[in-house]
Amino acid sequence: MKAVLIAGDRSGSGKTSITLALSALLAQEKNVQTFKVGMDYIDPSYLTAASGRPCRNLDSFTMDTATIKNIFSNGCRGADLAIVEGVRGLYEGAEAIGDTGSTASIAKILDLPVVLVVSARSITRSAAAIVRGFQTFDPKVRIAGVILNNIKGDSHREKAVAATEHFCKIPVIGAIPRTGEMELAMRHLGLVPFREGAQNEEFRRRIEIVTQIIGDHVDLDRFRSSMKECAVKKKTPEIFRRNTQADVRIGLALDEAFNFYYADLFDLMPALGADVVPFSPIHDRLPEADGYIIGGGYPEFFLPGLEANERVRSSLREVSSNGTPVYAECGGLMYLTDRIRIAKDRDGNAVERSAEMCGIFSGETRIPARRVVSYVEGSGSRKSPFGAGRFRGHEFHYSDVVLANDTEYAYRLSRGTGIRDNYDGALFRNTLGSYTHLHPMASRGMFARFVDLCRKKA
């Protein structure tokens, strides 16, 4: 198998559209496994659709080296090519000095060559200076090729390519023109994750536009030659192996409102002896299960449907009151409050709209609020269905969950915002709702304790 990492010189360099297009092009002939650096949900949903295989996340802040290698090895089984998309700029991470959480750290852990995407808007020789700076910044990171983006005309392309190849001694494997058609197609993909269904054809149409443009301006043979041969074990890594017959059923909310899940969750649950039973809080009844997981998403976009399905809301209140374990992250937390109240619509216009939700946690969700994007670090209490112990995760929200003053919290954060005053993980009996997103493999012990609690309560 061959593998490569595509990184950007900065956020907005165009690496996402380029990675999507290259994955889609190569997936026409080969089995392509994609990965995304960081804790993002949106880009992985696009890469999954482009390649036809579940994209997996890699993050050196939340995961140790062994976990990163196991996720990579497990994802690559059966693949011919692996493409890892970076996050932000190549060297951006959780710290100013160290490279924890950066794309560069993943390149070094997995020993992958890097194709660097550089926005060359209005520069020629300076593009070479940028690339040269990236080459020398960390000698342990090997930049194998460059893709120049935002090229305006033949003269711009010829000068930028000649300067980069002369001064940096590496090939320019693509020069992508700056076109309104491509910018419009990518802008319309927006921040909504891909879901099979009505959105499918529209997504395919936009990706076809981007793929055609990039396919015409990237040398695929040069791109393939930048990849490294990797030895991938055929056996499933031990941490993903099923060691017991499934004896627990976990109901998992999965629909247009709730779909922020890391792909490894669906491998970890069987390994822990749990069958996953998907259901829709908008369309279905609550399935019989020993525990429930309600992931993140955009419940605020689907308030009428969520409010109308009173049978799921009341059933969740009942199972929560009975002590059945329930775990909810971000959008799931919002769903478990009394109501979601919206003061402005997506265009920023003042509105006054609210919808009743599950009412498991006394209080309401208010939108919009200050945008929060941060790594999270903290410790859990013994009362948590996930048990006590340190953890690392991520939070991303623009809502504010305002809960009753007597609400008990399972998490105390040393990094991150949480629900209130650096507390997160609201508790009600065996129900836990948090803004913190946990990666299932980075927090494998916590998920194992949750499944064990479901087993005991069954």
3-state SS string over 213-252? HHHHHECHHHHHHCCEECCCCCCCCHHHCCCCCCCEEEEE
* Beta bridge partners of residue 426, listed in sequence order: 409, 433
Rounded CA separation 318/360 (Å): 9
Rounded CA separation 283/301 (Å): 15
Q: Which residues contact 336 (CB under 8 A, 6 or more apart)?
A: 294, 316, 320, 326, 328, 357, 358, 359, 360, 361, 431, 433
- Both tokens of 90, joined, read 């190549």
**Distances, alpha carbon 137 to alpha carbons 164, 180, 222, in Å:** 17, 34, 24
Q: Which residues contact 213 (CB under 8 A, 6 or more apart)?
A: 21, 176, 177, 179, 181, 182
Farthest CA pair distance, the chain: 71
Rounded CA separation 375/385 (Å): 22
The torsion angles phi and psi of 323, rounded to 5 degrees, stand at 90, 5
Catalytic residue among 55, 330, 358, 454: 330
Q: Are 273 and 248 in contact (CB under 8 A)?
A: yes
Q: Which residues contact 143 (CB under 8 A, 6 or more apart)?
A: 113, 114, 115, 116, 131, 134, 135, 168, 170
Q: Is position 330 annotated as part of the catalytic site?
A: yes
DSSP state for residue 298 in the 8-state scheme: -
Q: Other C-beta atoms within 10 Å of 181: how many? A: 12
Rounded CA separation 118/9 (Å): 5
Rounded CA separation 413/376 (Å): 7
Task: Give residue 53's Cα distance to chain centre.
Answer: 15
Q: Are 128 and 168 in contact (CB under 8 A)?
A: yes
Half-sphere exposure of 253 (CA within 13 A, CB side): 31
Rounded CA separation 256/250 (Å): 19
Question: Which letter, b or e, does each residue of 323-362 get, where b requires 16 or more Cβ atoms within 10 Å of its Cβ?
Answer: ebbbbbbbbbbbbbbbbbbbeeeeeeeeeeebbbbbbbbe
Question: Which letter, b or e, does each residue of 152-162 get, where b requires 16 or more Cβ atoms within 10 Å of its Cβ?
Answer: eeeebbebbbe
> Residues with catalytic annotation?
330
